[in-house]
Amino acid sequence: MSKDDDWIDARVGEARKVHPLVTDGVETRMKGMLKGQFSERQIPPMEMAQSAQTLLADMATSDLTKGEISHED
Amino acid sequence: MRIKAIELAWFRGAADTVTLDLESKSMVVYGENGSGKSSFVDAVEYVLKGGKIGHLAHESSGKHQEKGIVNTHTPEGEKTELQIKFRDGSELKIEIKRNGTSTSSGTGSVAMNTWDYRRTVLRQDEVADFIRGTKGEKYSALLPLLGLHHMEVVAENLRQLAKSVDQQSKLKEAQFTIEAVEAKRKATFGTSSDEQVLKKIQELHKKYFVDKATTPEPLSCCRELEAELEARLARSSADQRKHVALQTIAELDVKGHVGAVRSASVKLAGNLEPLITEKLEVLQPAGIFAEKLGEEKEINCPACGRSIPVEAFQAHIKSEKERLQEIIDDLDTRKTAIGMLCDTLKTLKSSLGKADVKSWRDNLAQGVLTDSFVYLDALNAEALRTACTEDVLKNIENKLLPLIDAAVQEAKTAPPDAQQLSTDKKTIEVGKAVIGAKDLAASAARAETLIAFLGSLEHGVREEIRVRSQKVIDEISADIQDMWSILHPDEAIENVRLYVPADAAKAIDIQLKFYGVEQDSPRLTLSDGNRNSLGLCIFLAMAKREAEKDRPLFLDDVVISFDRNHRGMIVELLEKKFGGRQVVVLTHDREWYTELRQQLKGANWTFKALMPWENPKIGIRWSARTSTFDDARAQLKERPDSAGNDARKIMDVELSLVAERLRIWLPYLRADKNDRRTAHDFLERLHADGKKFFQKRAGKDYVVHEDAIVAFENADRLLVSWANRASHSFDVVRPEANKLIEACERALELFKCSSCGKGVWFADAEGSEWVQCQCGEIRWRY
């Protein structure tokens, strides 16, 4: 696996700017996942479901009053 | 890391251990088709692909490859093994069991762990497949070579994660519930704001808890009120309790839910049926369609036959995908509507089962609503989730709506206290649902945000792949052009390069300039040979990127479609671009093999030839020939002595094998003289025995193979003459050597049948003492 992971931080940061309601917890976890198993293999459905639940839990502290940017890029 | 040797035992075409002894050098291996040369390449592929060999996958769907990997005639007790030895002394040994499982040992596996198959092995069919492939297939083939495969894995995982978040958050169900609560809120509170709804609940709290000085937060307020109303209900008269229970039943919107299911079904059918009909029409010519999509500017619509731009078709595909997504949404809506109906029917059933309404129910059950209660009692509401047909909906309407109507009528006769209690109870229930729905809406909004975020991230990753692909491709394209110009000097096909189309995801294609005109695809202008040549350049350019790692490169029959001129250029390409690499070239083209022997000189190259493969028990064998007759001919001009001597050496080796196969017994000689017999010894005996035992078919009978006898005699005479040539002048040597080569080759050829091409020892004939070729045209008696 490539150890050149800076691009992941950059792309996650870009996506976060478009979606400011996403929490720090989600951002941190996504970076970890993308640098780890997500770039090594196709994740099976059961594991994917667990990751989805974890991320939804990470979103629980999201401040919905901040509002989203309505367009991408 | 260079390979020193590859050893095979009962693997693919190999029987007893056979070794490709590279000695860490480059090598050209010649062997007829089927001689087993690709078995060595298969061994490398087996290791690099973790036990898989791509070209075996056709016959066994990628499974049960052991049927092709293990020699079919492996004797009991023998092991199927492959061993790769490296220059640094490390080794990798793999033992393969008959069931396909394997065990490996040795530290050599570490050396090969980072090798990429596509940058190590190139086979002819893979080159052709690549050029024929669509943009998407080229992308899939090249992505791992660009070192970006892990990024594609990231993008795909992100796409799946977004889908999983959608499912895990139960977003569709939440949205449906929120809509349902909104409808109830409108019916109960009208257009009241959130504050007004809360105020209404607080007022009710004050009404039922007059002595309480403080009002708790809204949700606790609802809970306290629910408990209080239940307590008051328990203390009320039986008649009041009956009316409150009936009020609950009267408010069940069975009719509305049936309507919602029916409406969702109608919408689904309306979208689904025409779509399926259209899809069937489109799917039939889809193969031709997909083929054209990658290469053409325009394509013919399979439905109407009109020529349409590729972009228009792609837009159509996009809209079709959106339609399919809409159908998936419709399916979800219908599923949720059915769920709501099930829950309502369960509430109806439990409400009518309560003791408070028993007397009312018993009265009706004996009258006109008998069938309705029988139906309700037998109803399995949960089963409707998987089988909710129009017949079921009609039954619900016919049997259960009259029950609701009866409850509505009875509820109207309720005393004022009961009516008020019932109204307040409903207000609190809806108020509680409104408060709960706010949390649900917040959860749904968070899930939607997360899904949108993952979508943006996937988009970002794909953009990263595109940018990086283009960067690597630009670098590789320079090498491709360089190699192309070596293979095709002075040809007006230039600027050959790979590119990433801006308007398509997951795509890579090839551009070139053909006589000054830009072309988007090699297919439009290049011949078959040139296309394969281009494929070879592309993969060699990829392999060249690993030059510093000093890994071997296997080229397995990659020049089949090349003409003589372009084959010659390959030598220049290998020397110029891969001079420092270990390259193993395998070919069935004897002419090219001879050319390579002449052209690839130097200490880095060795040459070996395989004997024709005969059967699985004999397996792969190296030819003991010092050279071929063509090699000998190639030396006639400069070194006629060597040419003649090579012909003699070939005869020494080949005739000893022939004698062994035909069981020609020669007188025993002392000590090592037995191993020093010459072609003359064998020919003398073959000539004598042949007159009696070598026959060819003549009609129904066999006659002595006179041609062979004459050829043996001629070759023997010339060999003896050659041995005594010391007195001949240089000018005489060349024609004599030429005659000798011709005569020797002719003599050996006659052991092969001119019809079936098999040796006279190929099969047993009638009677144990006879052998014959496959068709029986020639035969020999032991």
Which of these, B280, B310, B276, lies nearest to B292 by C-alpha position?
B310
pLDDT at A50 over 90: yes
pLDDT at B342: 92
Residue bearing tokens 């009267």: B250
Instruction: Tell me how many residue pairs between chain A and chain B have CB atoms under 8 A apart.
Output: 96
Binary contact (B150, A2; C-beta < 8 A):
yes
Binary contact (B464, A7; C-beta < 8 A):
yes
pLDDT at B279: 67
pLDDT band at B501 (very low <50, low <70, confident <90, very high): confident
Contacts by B139-147, CB closer than 8 A, 24 or more apart: B139/B506, B139/B507, B139/B508, B140/B506, B142/B498, B142/B508, B142/B542, B143/B465, B143/B469, B144/B116, B144/B118, B145/B116, B145/B118, B145/B119, B145/B542, B146/B468, B146/B469, B146/B472, B146/B473, B147/A2, B147/B472
Pairing of strands B102-105, B583-587: unpaired
pLDDT at B624: 60
pLDDT at B650 over 70: yes
Q: State which of A7-11, B273-277, B420-424, B758-762 shows the largest mean pLDDT.
A: A7-11
pLDDT at B415: 76
- Would an 8 Å CB–CB cutoff place A56 in contact with chain B? yes
B-chain CB neighbours of A16 within 8 Å are: 453
Max alpha carbon distance in chain B (Å)?
142
Q: What percent of chain B has pLDDT over 90?
A: 20
pLDDT band at B141 (very low <50, low <70, confident <90, very high): confident
Average pLDDT over residues B424-437: 90
pLDDT at B24: 82
Distance CA B690, CA B319 (A): 80
Minimal CA separation from A25 to chain B, in Å? 12
Average pLDDT over residues A53-63: 88
Asked if B643 contacts B737 with a C-beta cutoff of 8 angstroms, the reply is yes
Asked if B24 contacts B574 with a C-beta cutoff of 8 angstroms, the reply is no
- How do residues B574-595 score in pLDDT, each as one tens digit? 888 888 889 999 998 876 786 7
pLDDT at B287: 41
pLDDT band at B703 (very low <50, low <70, confident <90, very high): very high
pLDDT band at B655 (very low <50, low <70, confident <90, very high): confident
Instruction: Provide residues of B within 8 Å CB-CB of chain A.
Output: 147, 150-151, 153-154, 156-158, 160-161, 164-165, 167-169, 442, 445-447, 449-450, 452-453, 456-457, 459-461, 463-464
pLDDT at B314: 64
pLDDT at B315 over 90: no
Minimal CA separation from B473 to chain A, in Å? 18
Distance CA B150, CA B581 (A): 27
- How do residues B383-423 score in pLDDT, each as one tens digit? 888 888 889 999 999 999 999 999 888 888 877 777 888 88
Name the average pLDDT for chain B. Answer: 83
Which neighbouring-strand residues pair with B123?
Answer: B556
Both tokens assigned to B217: 């937060």
Average pLDDT over residues B618-630: 76
Residue bearing tokens 């229970």: B245
pLDDT at B297 over 70: no
pLDDT at B321: 67
pLDDT at B731 over 60: yes
Which neighbouring-strand residues pair with B8?
Answer: B18, B82
Distance CA B39, CA B121 (A): 13
pLDDT at A70: 45
Sign of CA pseudo-dihedral B55, B58, B63, B68 = negative
- Would an 8 Å CB–CB cutoff place A70 in contact with chain B? no
Minimal CA separation from A8 to chain B, in Å? 8
Binary contact (B150, A21; C-beta < 8 A):
no
Asked if B622 contacts B10 with a C-beta cutoff of 8 angstroms, the reply is no
A-chain CB neighbours of B154 within 8 Å are: 8, 34, 38-39
How high is the ipTM of this complex?
0.91
Which of these, B181, B441, B166, lies nearest to B329 by C-alpha position?
B166
pLDDT at B86 over 80: yes
Which of these, B773, B766, B561, B733, lies nearest to B641 by C-alpha position?
B733
Distance CA B715, CA B683 (A): 8
Binary contact (A41, B153; C-beta < 8 A):
yes
Average pLDDT over residues A14-40: 92
pLDDT at B400: 92
Residue B109 or B177, more confident: B177
Minimal CA separation from B462 to chain A, in Å? 10
- How do residues B605-622 score in pLDDT, each as one tens digit? 888 888 888 888 888 988
- Would an 8 Å CB–CB cutoff place A38 in contact with chain B? yes
pLDDT band at B61 (very low <50, low <70, confident <90, very high): very low
pLDDT band at B310 (very low <50, low <70, confident <90, very high): low
| A-interface mutation test, from B114, B152, B159, B164, most A Cβ less than 10 A away | B164
Q: What percent of chain A has pLDDT over 90?
A: 58
pLDDT at A33 over 90: yes
Max alpha carbon distance in chain A (Å)?
40
pLDDT at B370 over 80: yes
Q: State which of B22-36, B274-288, B324-338 shows the largest mean pLDDT.
A: B22-36
- How do residues B131-140 score in pLDDT, each as one tens digit? 777 888 888 8
Average pLDDT over residues B346-355: 90
pLDDT at B449: 94
pLDDT at B323 over 80: no
pLDDT at B136: 81
A-chain CB neighbours of B465 within 8 Å are: none
Binary contact (B164, A45; C-beta < 8 A):
yes
pLDDT at B291 over 60: no
Average pLDDT over residues B356-385: 88
Residue A58 or B118, more confident: A58
Residue type, B49: K
User: With a threshold of 0.95, does the pTM exceed it?
Assistant: no
pLDDT band at A9 (very low <50, low <70, confident <90, very high): very high
SS3 assignment, position B16 = coil
pLDDT band at B761 (very low <50, low <70, confident <90, very high): confident
pLDDT at A69 over 50: no
By C-alpha distance, the chain B residue nearest A17 is B453
